Amino acid sequence: MESIDITRKLKEKGNEIADEVIKIRRWLHQHPELSAKEYETSKFVAGKLRDIGLEPQTGIADTGVVALVEGGKEGKTIAFRADMDALPITEMNDASYRSQNPGVMHACGHDTHVTNLLGAAMILSDPLIKTELPGSVKLIFQPSEEAFPGGARRMIEEGVLEKPDVVCVVAAHAFPFLDAGKIGLKDNIAMAAIDDFEVEIKGDGCHASTPHLGTDAIVAASHCIMNLQTIISRRIPPLESAVISIGMISGGTKSNILAESVRFKGTIRTLLPEVRVKIRKLFKDTIRCSAESLGCGYDIRYTEGYDSVYNSPEINEVCRTSITSILGADSVVTLTSPMMGSEDFSYFSKKLPCTVMRIGCKSPDRKFYPLHHNRFDVDESILPATAEVFAQVAFDLLEKYR
Which residues are part of the catalytic machinery?
A: 306, 380
Question: Contact at 8 Å (CB) between 180 and 359?
Answer: no
For the chain, state the CA radius of gyration: 24
Closest by CA to 227, choosing from 285, 303, 278, is: 285
Three-state secondary-structure class, residue 77: strand
- The two most distant CA atoms of the chain are separated, in Å, by 86
Residue 22 and residue 93 in contact, taking contact as beta carbons nearer than 8 Å: no
CB atoms within 10 A of CB 164: 14
The secondary structure of 315-337 as a DSSP string is HHHHHHHHHHHHH-GGGEEE--S
Q: How far apart are the first and last CA of the chain?
A: 16
Using an 8 Å Cβ cutoff, are 172 and 116 in contact?
A: yes
Helix, strand, coil percent values for the chain (each to nearest 5) = 40, 25, 35
Q: Say if strands 169-179 and 354-362 run parallel, antiparallel, or are unpaired.
A: parallel
Q: Name the residue type at position 12.
A: E
Nearest to 155 by CA among 77, 79, 269: 79
Containing 217, the helix (H) or strand (E) segment is helix 217-230
Angle formed by the axes of helices 382-400 and 313-327, nearest 10°: 130
Rounded CA-CA distance 202/101 in Å is 39
Q: Are strands 64-70 and 57-60 parallel, antiparallel or unpaired?
A: antiparallel
Of 24, 166, 160, 171, the closest CA to residue 83 belongs to 171
The letter for the amino acid at 256 is: N
